[in-house]
Amino acid sequence: MPQKSGDIREELEQITRAPQKQKKRTVCVIGHKNPDTDSICAAISYTYLKKQLEKPDGRYQYVACRAGSVSAETQFVLDYFHVPQPLFIENIGTRVKDLEIRRTPGVDAKISVKDAWNLMNTQNVFTLPITDAESHLQGLITINDIAKSYMDENDSAIVSVARTPYRNIMETLDAEMVVGDPEASFTEGKVVIAAANPDVMENYINPHDMVILGNRYESQLMSILAGAGCIVVCLGAPVSKTIQHMAKEKGTTILVTPLDTYTVARLINQSMPIDFFMKSDNLITFHLGDFTDQIKEIMSKKRYRDFPVLDKRGAYIGTISRRNLLNARKRALILVDHNEVSQAVDNVENAEILEILDHHKIGTLQTINPVFFRNQPVGSTSTIVYEMYRENNVEIPKTIAGLLASAILSDTLIFRSPTCTMMDRMAAEHLAKIAGIEPEEYARKMFRAGSDLKNRTPEEIFYTDFKTFEVNEETIGIGQITSMDEEELSDIRDRIKPFIEKAYEQHGLSLAFFMLTNIIDESTTMICYGKHAQELLESAFGVTVEDHIAKMPGIVSRKKQVVPVIMAELNKDNDV
């Protein structure tokens, strides 16, 4: 039974938006750089077809994408049928967001070293991120940092230098505060163990010191009188009311712990806050949108085990390690209307290509695994997509029919191009009926919209439909615009001619050509630039080139009439 479609505009909007978080793998259906109408419409239409064919429990979610700006002609088509632009993707390389990010939660800067150690063991991690209330990264602490805090020879004032909160000390020593403010911190003095007689102790206890002692009344009294900032009473010994009263008067904090003196002395440094040991300067962080091929070199030069990941707002969300790069999953692609590396979205070599639909010559793309590759000698990729709708018995909605018909009319120059086949014509006429348009009349409106280039810069015009090709290790760039107005083409010619040299140098081209094609006259004015470009054009096409410009009657197709001839001429020269 044919699959029903109904009004698909809302669904088209959904499939052209950025993919949402879900278990299904996202597949980008995308055309070439500097996309033309066929490239955009084929991507949207094939995405819709794949979506109809995908089972409810299928593995994939398909998203229509584009690798460049939409031309005025294509925008006319999208506006006419009320379809949003596909998602723009400049680079298809694997990003940090495609990796398995370890969601290690951020911790408060004031937690104790002991708590940090316990968290690392519990979560089986080697790095803890320190964050504020808004999840902004403040620093990092690692197991090595904690080990170093134990191994370094710190003086007895280190606990106060670290401005250790009394709450940390209480938690670490399992202590109860008898006198004092639990929200305060130990910020002055050193840590002293009261192992000597009281008359000796008064010689080495200074104001604000923390004194670790037992249940001897005299030692407690002497410590308070000496101005101790805190006394830690071990073995859970009771503290007399007299000592408590005096401590309050003198501003001395009293803690009582069930631990013995040795254990207290050993653990006290573990109460220090981790912000004293954390790394906070020159932190190396990555963002979700960073490409993995860009961060590999950074990670290889640093001996860190984990690297924090931030979202676009700068908030911490997790960590990644070098191991994550080894398990990175490539992004999935379906290519339409091209199969050349030079024409594909950047970093296509690092993506997983699942399918290719095209009507051009077989190019330079290579895949690791076998893929579905459909290449037919027709005038438009959208003709192939149309055939696949019919083969799969999927009803073509009015909106999709309009897009496919527009693409075929555009690529075949309203059936005037030598690339046009009977299959293209039959497909466009059938699709036009579904879409409710008259092909010739609609196409003229479409071309007029696309040829309105008066307010566009030479650069915008040049790259409207620009492709590069590789021949004998040489790179050839060929751009093309079409118009029904010879006067407009003459004006554009004068504006493009000075710009072609810049494009030639910018892309490192061996040869650069630009076609100004008159649809009505079925002719092209060719601008050429580069070493031997004029000689090549004259030899290959038998035309006369004057000041880098040649008139070429009967030439309208870059794909069928220009590229093959230039390649044959270059190969002939190479053979010689």
CATH number assigned to the domain comprising residue 360: 3.90.1640.10
Q: Which of 238, 255, 271 is the last residue of a domain?
A: 271
Q: Are 391 and 408 within one domain? A: yes
Backbone angles phi, psi at 469, to 5 degrees: -135, 145
Identify the CATH number of the domain in which residue 486 sits.
Answer: 3.10.310.20
Domain that holds residue 553: 458-575
252 assigned to some structural domain: yes
CATH of the domain at 304: 3.10.580.10
Q: Are 435 and 80 in contact (CB under 8 A)?
A: no
Query: Which pLDDT band, with edges at 50, 70 and 90, does 560 fall under?
Result: confident
- Report yes or no: 190 and 157 within 8 Å, Cβ to Cβ: yes
Residue 15, pLDDT score = 46
What is the tens place of the pLDDT at every residue in 490-524? 988 999 999 999 999 988 899 999 999 998 888 99
Same domain, 123 and 265: no
Residue 361 has pLDDT above 60, yes or no: yes
Residue recorded with tokens 């429990």: 57
- For residue 223, the number of C-alpha atoms closer than 13 Å in the C-beta half-sphere is 33
Same domain, 497 and 564: yes
Domain identity same for 192 and 228:
yes
Query: Does 116 share its domain with 257?
Result: no
57 and 114 share a domain? no
Asked if 229 and 176 sit in the same domain, the reply is yes
Please list, in sequence order, all residues whose beta carbon lies within 8 angstroms of the beta carbon of residue 356, skipping any fewer than 6 positions away: 334, 335, 336, 339, 365, 371, 372, 373, 374, 375
**Residue where the block lists tokens 């001996």:** 303
The H or E element spanning position 310 is strand 307-310
Per-residue b or e along 362-386, where b marks 16 or more CB atoms closer than 10 Å to that residue's CB: ebebeeeeeeeeeeeebbbbbbbbb
Question: pLDDT at position 20, please?
Answer: 46
In this structure, are 445 and 464 located in the same domain? no
In a domain, 498, yes or no: yes
177 plus 246 within the same structural domain: yes
| 530: its two tokens | 């580069």
157, part of any domain: no
Helix 37-53, helix 381-391: angle, nearest 10: 20
Whichever domain contains 266, its CATH number is 3.40.1390.20
Task: Out of 401, 431, 449, pick the residue that ends a domain.
Answer: 449
Q: 380 and 295 in one domain? A: no
For residues 214, 219, 223, 229, the Cα torsion angle rounded to the nearest 10 degrees is 10
Report the alpha-carbon distance of residue 42 to residue 380 in Å, rounded. 9
Query: Would you state the pLDDT for residue 18?
Result: 44
Co-location of 475 and 521 in the same domain: yes
Which range among 5-14, 249-258, 489-498 has the greatest average pLDDT?
Answer: 249-258
Angle of helix 143-151 relative to helix 113-123, nearest 10 degrees, comes to 140
156 inside domain = no
Per-residue pLDDT band at 303 (split at 50, 70, 90): confident
Residue 575: CB atoms within 10 Å: 7
How is 489-535 classified by DSSP, letter by letter? HHHHHHHHHHHHHHHHHHTT-SEEEEEEEETTTTEEEEEEEETTHHH
Structural domain tally of the chain?
4
Establish if 4 belongs to a structural domain. no
Whether 519 maps to a domain, the answer reads yes
d(CA 433, CA 439): 9
Tell me, yes or no, whether 119 and 168 share the same domain: no
Contact between 421 and 377 under an 8 Å Cβ cutoff? The reply is: yes
pLDDT beyond 50 at 484: yes
Does some domain include residue 250? yes
Boundary of a domain, candidates 229, 252, 271: 271
Chain segment 132-190, per-residue pLDDT in tens: 999 999 999 998 888 877 766 667 899 999 999 999 999 999 999 999 999 999 999 99
